[in-house]
Amino acid sequence: MSFKFRVRKFMKLFKSLLVAPATLGLLAPMSATASEVTINDFNAAEEIAVTNSRVDGLEARFNNLEAGSFSETTTASFGVDFLVGAVDGASNEKTTFDYQMGIGLETSFTGEDALSATIDIGNASSVVGGTSGLNFDGTSDALKLDGLTYTFPLGSTTVMVGDNTDISAVYTGACAYSSFTDYMGNCGTGNSVGVGGNGVTAAMSYAFDSGFSLAGGVSATQITDAGVVTGLLTEEGSDVYGIEAAYTADSYGIAVAYSDNESSTFWGINGMYAFDFVTLSAGIESEDTGSTTKEGFFVGLSFPEVGSGSFDIGMGTTGNFADSDPEYYIYEASYAYPVNDGMTITPGIYIREGGTDQTGFAVKTSFSF
């Protein structure tokens, strides 16, 4: 039973209760004398009209309240992460406590489109010893609009437009590994298959029935003059272009992507294959700066059923390196234990080799509601 139906039903009952005394007054015992009660002393029609007017006004107020509430298609989701840990070999080896919270709002106007907004808040931009390996989207305890997008169908394609969002939001990808550090994100192909965005973004994707998909887009900074937007996709701005082709099946998948951020171009491939008890994920990425070619790689194993949780272990480079550069490697392992549907505890450890060696340990507690 909807809220509006219950209000109207209550109004009818309330109206009946108010009218009842007037009706009973007309049916008073005939023993009352004319000097005690006369038709001129009590006008039933006038009283009923006044009562109807007041009830109608009250019902209108309820209707206005209902019209100003959330629509039935609007949903909100919340996520909170707490992280406690320390890094041996970092600039700060103290044990630290950090948090981040994300709020997701989404609504639809046609049933096929989606208007989405993401709001973040956190207490640090670089946590646990100042290492970038365990980075949170911190905002120094201030709310930040992390993304605003509108997605809608256009023929057989899906179009996404928005601000401060990644081009890869419409990509399929083929990485099944759950990374504990930022180094392992997108199976080591964060500049290509996981290409980001730095401003106004427009992207499009198309999924074929055979399992193939094709997607691409552009993200452009807004050039401003005294706070006034003067242009997009200009030579003065820093723009990002990306395209991806992917194929996914029940137990395996592969994705190939190309991106260009005007200072470097990237090629990346990531893929996965699910065996009976473990899933293998891997990725390689190549970077061309115009004068130097750099490469990086990743490989990881995901065990979906280890006790009551799941276990991930992986290794790779901390970035893309030229042949003449010393390569830095990172190894990590983590165990995700779901306490219930809305709470997961994930302890993890990583070792970073090269330059100043680091060993980090942290426990992340995640809530979703």
What tokens does 312 get? 């991930």
Q: What is the pLDDT of residue 37?
A: 40
What domains appear along the chain, each with residue ranges and CATH number?
3-67 (no CATH), 75-368 (2.40.160.10)
Q: What is the pLDDT of residue 155?
A: 92
User: pLDDT of the chain along its 369 residues, tens only?
Assistant: 544 444 455 455 445 544 444 444 444 444 444 444 443 454 556 666 666 666 666 566 555 545 445 578 899 999 999 988 888 987 778 888 888 899 999 999 999 999 999 998 887 655 565 555 565 555 667 788 889 999 999 999 999 999 989 999 999 999 999 999 888 889 999 999 999 987 899 999 999 999 999 999 999 887 777 665 566 677 777 899 999 999 999 999 999 999 999 899 999 999 999 999 999 999 999 999 999 999 999 999 999 999 999 999 999 999 999 999 998 999 999 999 999 999 999 999 999 998 789 899 999 999 999
Tell me how far apart the alpha carbons of residues 56 and 51 are, in angstroms, rounded to a whole number. 9
Q: What is the pLDDT of residue 228?
A: 59
Q: What is the pLDDT of residue 274?
A: 97
pTM of the model: 0.76
Q: What is the pLDDT of residue 342?
A: 96
| CA nearest neighbour of 95 among 367, 357, 363, 365 | 363
Please give the C-alpha separations between residue 89 and each of 92, 94, 131, 136, 332, in angstroms, as whole numbers.
8, 11, 10, 20, 16
Contact 209, 365 (CB under 8 A): no
